[in-house]
Copies of this chain bind each other. A is one copy, B any other.
């Protein structure tokens, strides 16, 4: 038996849970992806705990001494308490003591935090955000998440909701698109994988996922190229708003949609630069995550390690 402890980490997505055993140096020892649909309206706290236990158990060998568990979850948490205030994806869960319940089940210390913030923490420690005191990290997938590192610390705001980058408004006109949040013109309605899929369907009449549309774009399909370039442009507008307010000079982006980086990046930068105030122009770097979508897992593990240091 290894005397040095490992940490278990989980990153909860809309349709699956990624789980990993994390080495003491923060690297991934082994991992697995488990199907788990937590998007139904009637999902209960117990369903979530069962799904997490299922994803984590079985991953651990006899020789591995697990000391803590860190979980990235799509929802708003009350500070570092591990209490889930609410989750846009699972409206039935409100004020759930998720860390405590999970800790009872697994007999280990557990930290749970917003998935976008976990990704920001991981990217800041191990990815392109290293050596920066401020970082805006964006997760670009089915939806758009975000995490902020300010003065080298995760920033969560007064009520754990300082990550609603996806709902910054990038279109104020009458034709602004309706977002899942109920408002109009949110960047999530323009630059998420869902938005790309729906925009392409509207233009071509064909329903395809973002990955398939990207493949078509690579084969010079005009409509496919257009929807990605448009998404990049709107993403740039939203990044400009964040930079004007916070003057953060490094923005990192992770998530499935970064596979389309060659198409997204140029229009993103162009829209960003033209919407900054002039002394900020030319100073902001937007980089694709260097962590192959492991930022969230690594950040969740770091928060678990913090539990042990306390």
Smallest CB separation, A245 vs chain B (Å): 6
Contact string against B for A residues 179-222, beta-carbon threshold 8 Å, 1 for contact and 0 otherwise: 00111010000000000000000000000000000000000000
Smallest CB separation, A238 vs chain B (Å): 9
Smallest CB separation, A262 vs chain B (Å): 26
Smallest CB separation, A180 vs chain B (Å): 10
Structural contact, B279 and A167, CB atoms closer than 8 A: no
Structural contact, A182 and B245, CB atoms closer than 8 A: no
Q: Is A280 an interface residue (CB 8 A)?
A: yes
Measured between beta carbons, the chain B residues less than 8 angstroms from A151 are 150-151, 153, 155
Q: Is A247 an interface residue (CB 8 A)?
A: yes
Binds B, one of A12-20, A21-29, A157-165: A157-165
Contact of A241 among B85, B161, B241 (CB under 8 A): B241
Contact string against B for A residues 215-255, beta-carbon threshold 8 Å, 1 for contact and 0 otherwise: 00000000000000000000001001110111111100000
Contact of A162 among B86, B158, B170, B246 (CB under 8 A): B246
Number of residues in A with C-beta < 8 Å to the partner?
51
Q: Is A3 an interface residue (CB 8 A)?
A: no
Q: Is A171 an interface residue (CB 8 A)?
A: yes
Asked whether A183 and B277 contact (CB < 8 A) given A158-B249, A247-B156, the answer is yes
Structural contact, A157 and B248, CB atoms closer than 8 A: yes
Q: Is A260 an interface residue (CB 8 A)?
A: no
Q: Is A258 an interface residue (CB 8 A)?
A: no
Query: Complex: how many Å from CA A76 to CA B247?
Result: 11
Smallest CB separation, A14 vs chain B (Å): 18
Contact of A160 among B134, B242, B247 (CB under 8 A): B247
Contact of A173 among B164, B165, B172, B181 (CB under 8 A): B172
Measured between beta carbons, the chain B residues less than 8 angstroms from A244 are 164-165, 167-168
Q: Is A90 an interface residue (CB 8 A)?
A: no
Whose C-beta in chain B lies nearest to the C-beta of A146?
B245
8 A-B residue pairs with CB within 8 Å = A76-B279, A158-B250, A164-B277, A168-B244, A169-B241, A171-B172, A183-B274, A246-B246
